[in-house]
Amino acid sequence: MATPALRGPFQLGDRVQLTGPKGRMNTITLEAGGEFHSHKGMIRHDDIVGVPDASVIANSNGEEYLALRPLLSDFVMSMPRGAAIVYPKDAAQIISLADIFPGARVVEAGVGSGALSLHLLRAVGPEGEVHSFERREEFADIARANARAYAGEDPANWTVRVGDLQEALPSALESGSVDRVVLDMLAPWECVGVTAEALAPGGVVICYVATVTQLSRTVEEFRRSGLFTHPQASETMVRGWHVEGLAVRPDHRMVGHTGFLVTARKLAPGTNLPSLKRRASKSDFTDADMASWLPDMGADGDPGAWSEENVGQLVKSDKILRKKAREAKRIADHRVGTSEGVTDTADAAEAAETAPDERSQ
């Protein structure tokens, strides 16, 4: 995967994060003759070119801005979104818990806006492969454009296929050739069988789900399949701290629950996993108990009960998705065009500045 320059003076085509005195962030793409405007004044892009990373730049009114190359976590938090993104805190856990390594062949189901895809591509390195499957063409378009905007080109080791994982994966990749599978989708339990077929023995599957009902349904399907080790479930919460002199306390606001992670490893063919030894307790349950809790289990189960609306996921209209796709494409085209010395199009000028990032640094 080609990546933007990570060190050295700023160059034309670089993405630059400008942070004002109140912590307000704006991300721009440097172009010859370009200008960044705010109600406090203006900064010429040419005044930033050649300046070392992490420098302070004064605008036309003398107000100072800190100029930094955006980290990957900064980029994914401010890029155009079609679907909700996997937050950096969860992406980091996915890379660690799934043991995504350089050179790995990774399958991703549910590309969304491409945030997790970018983390996976960085983890596997240029020798690895990421094969992403997405049901909606609009999401795939947004993800491709975001990746191009970040890297400056389409990643050569990333393949995005539009279609259902259960139908597309068997014909796309040979059985037992995949090292890791990441399922970021509404109903990952539907893909347990095809995932097991694609994974090499010992390979890792990790699922990202939003609600406890999805968590329970996913774990039970792994157990019932007999094809994986006992699944492990976890949740990651990050709480920032305010540290200023003697005023040291937790921040008033935090990103709490975003999702649950479920991990398991593929068993070798013909392996029977030993049962976990535990004491009998009042928490023992039957299939009837599970059917009362999970809507598609039991004789009268309704698989259609699992919908984005029912699990509380925000569903964007087709109109909004088309708008986000156009926005992502403009930013990507401008990023690529600027690095190639092409900066005289109307679309490039429109894409020079993105919406400000409201996070404080």
Please, what is the Cα angle at 22 between 113 and 16, to 5 degrees?
A: 45
Q: H helices within 128-230, ranges in order? A: 137-151, 165-172, 192-198, 212-225
How far lies 77's CA from each of 27, 232, 321, 357, in Å?
11, 28, 17, 8
> CA 193 to CA 106: how far, in whole Å?
17
pLDDT at site 277: 64
pLDDT at site 355: 43
Of 71, 73, 74, the residue nearest 90 (C-alpha) = 73
> CA 102 to CA 94: how far, in whole Å?
15
| Tokens encoding 168 | 């597309």
**In this predicted model, what pLDDT tens digit does every residue of 50-68 receive, in sequence order?**
999 999 999 999 999 999 9
What number of other Cβ atoms are within 10 A of residue 5's Cβ?
13
> CA 186 to CA 161: how far, in whole Å?
18
pLDDT at site 4: 59
The residues of the chain scoring below 70 in pLDDT are 1-5, 276-285, 289, 314, 337-361
Strands (E) located in 6-120: 15-19, 25-29, 35-38, 41-44, 55-58, 64-68, 105-109
| Tokens encoding 207 | 């699922």
Strands (E) located in 75-119: 105-109
pLDDT at site 345: 37
Query: Residues near 102 by Cβ (< 8 Å), separated by ≥ 6?
Result: 123, 124, 125, 127, 128
What number of other Cβ atoms are within 10 A of residue 199's Cβ?
25
Phi, psi angle pair for 290, to nearest 5° = -65, -40
Q: Decide: 154 and 73 in contact? Cβ < 8 Å.
A: no
> CA 292 to CA 5: how far, in whole Å?
54
> CA 10 to CA 322: how far, in whole Å?
32
Report strand pairing: 129-134 vs 158-162: parallel
Token pair 């023992």 is found at 284
| Tokens encoding 356 | 């400000």
